Structure 1
Amino acid sequence: MARTTGPRLKIMRALGVELPGLSRKSIEDRPNPPGQHGQQASRRRRSDFAVKLVEKQKIRFNYGVSEKQMRKLMLEARKGSEPTGDKLMSLLERRLDNVVFRAGFAPTGIAARQLVNHGHVLLNGKSVNIASVRLKVGDVVTLKEKSRKIPMVAESMATPSLTIPEWLSVDTTTASAKIGHLPSIEDVPFPIEVQQVVEYYANRV
C-alpha cells in the first residue's frame, strides 16, 4: 500500500487538480503550484514527459497505489479487447477501499483504507482487511454495526464527499453498498487523460 504522509493540499496544488480520494479540501483559493515561483511555474508549458507523469501521479495519489501496483494493474489492463485506459480505471474504481469511499462511508480514500485495514468492513458478509481486493458485479460491502457509530463514518454518511455513482446501490440504513455494474471511465471523479498514462507505461512494463 502506498502511504501519503506529506501535505495533501500541497500535492494537489503541484498536480493542479483536486483529488477527492486524497483530500476533501479545495485548491480553489491557492491553485498555483507550491513554492516561491509557483505562479510562474503554472504558466510554463509542460514537456510531453511531464504531462504523462502528472497524469500518472493523479491516479497514484487519488487511489493510494504504489508504483509497483500501478505496473501490475497496467499489465492486467492490457489484456482483453477493452481499451487499456478504460480497463485500468475500472480496475482502480473497483478496489475495496475506493468502493467504501465512493459509497460515502468515509470522507476520503485514505480514510476508507484505514477502515478496511482495521477490520470495520464486511465483503459479502465476511470480514476483510485487504484494501486492494477487487470487487465484481453483485458483491456487497457492509460496515460492521459498531463501526457505523464512528464519528467520522457517521459524518461522512450524512454529508458524502461525492455524489454516489450510478454503478453503486447504497442502503444507508444498513450501511451497505452493492455493485450493480462495472464502472466506466466517465465515473472517475477527477479529470484524467488516461491515454497519457497508457503511453507513460508503454515502454516501462
Structure 2
Amino acid sequence: MARPRGPRFKVARHLGVNVFNHPKALKRGVKNHKLSDYGQQLLEKQKLKAYYGVLEKQFRRYVFEALKSRGNSGDVLVQNLERRLDNIVYRLGFGSTLRQARQMVVHGHILVNGKMVNIPSYRVNVDDVISLREKSRKNQIFADNFSAIQLNVKYLEKDVENFSGRLVRIPLREEIPVDLKDSKVIEFYSKN
C-alpha cells in the first residue's frame, strides 16, 4: 500500500497550515511567498492531498470523479475524501492521528456494519456503523483514544459504550474542518 512518507512537519510549514493536526507541526515560523495563480492552485492541491494522506494517482481519480458529478465539483471532492474509512476512523477518535487510523484499518481492527474492512480508501455511506473489533477493544491505547478524543463534527455520531460510530449524513462542505480553497484545486485539474 502506497502512502506519503517523509518529513511531515516540513510539509506542514511549507503549506502554512497544520494539515497533520499535531501540536508541534508549526512550531517554527512559516515562510510566506508571493505566489502566481498557478502556484496558489498547486499549493491548495498539495494541502488537500496532505490533509487526507493521498498520493497523486489516487487523488486524480477523486478529482475526475468530482468533475463528472452533478454538484459543485470542489464540494464533492472534499466530501468524498472526508468519507474515506481511514478519515472517518480518525474523526471518530479511534486513532489519535490519520496515520494511526489508517494503520488500524489496514491491520483489521475496524468493522463496517459488522464486517471487517481493511481498505483505507473504502467510502463510508450514510448510516454505516463503524466499530472496533471485539478483540481490539482490550487494547488500552485504542480504548483511551476513543474515550478521550471528543467528536467535533455534526455529521458523525459516536457511541462510546459500544466502541462505535455512524455517518449520520453526507457532510456539508462548510462543516468539514479543512482550511483550503477547493475551487483552486478544481481549476488546477480543469486546465489539464
Q: Distance in 2 between matches of 1:9 and 1:149?
A: 32
**Structure 2: any 5+ residue segments left out of the alignment?**
none
Give CA-to-partner distance per residue, 1:14-68, whole Å, 9 cap, x none: 110011xx35234443132xxxxxxxxx243112121111111111111111111
Q: Does 1:53 align with 2:42?
A: yes
SS in 2 for 1:136: coil
Comparing 52-61 with 92-101, which one deviates more in the overlay? 52-61
1:31 is matched with: 29
Distance 2:7 2:54 in 1: 17
Does structure 2 retain, via aligned residues, the 8 Å contact 1:89–1:184? no
Matches within 5 A, 1:1-205: 1-19=1-19, 22-32=20-30, 42-160=31-149, 163-204=151-192
Give CA-to-partner distance per residue, 1:68-103, whole Å, 9 cap, x none. 111111111122321000000000000000000000
State the number of aligned residues: 192
Q: Name the SS for the 1:201 alignment partner.
A: helix
The Cα RMSD (Å) is 1.7
Q: Post-superposition, which runs of at least 4 consecutive aligned residues in structure 1 deviate over 6 A?
A: none
Which residue pairs with 1:37 in the alignment? none
Give the AA of the match of 1:92.
L
Kept in 2: contact 1:97–1:116 (CA 8 A): yes
1:93-151 Cα offsets, whole Å, 9 max, x none, are 00000000000110111111100000001010001101101011111100112223334
SS at match of 2:178: coil
Amino acid at match of 1:24: H
Q: Distance in 1 between matches of 2:94 and 2:34?
A: 39
| AA of the residue aligned to 1:3 | R
The change in CA–CA distance for 1:155 and 1:91 in structure 2 (over 3 A counts) is same
For the structure 1 residues 181 and 23, does the alpha-carbon distance in structure 2 shift closer, same or farther, using more than 3 Å as the test?
same
Cα distance between partner residues in 2 of 1:100 and 1:164: 13
**Percent identity for Structure 1 against Structure 2:** 41
Show structure 1 runs of 5+ residues with no match: 33-41
**Greater Cα offset, 103-112 or 142-151:** 142-151
Instruction: Give the structure-1-normalised TM-score.
Output: 0.87
Contact persistence 1:24–1:107 (CA under 8 A): no
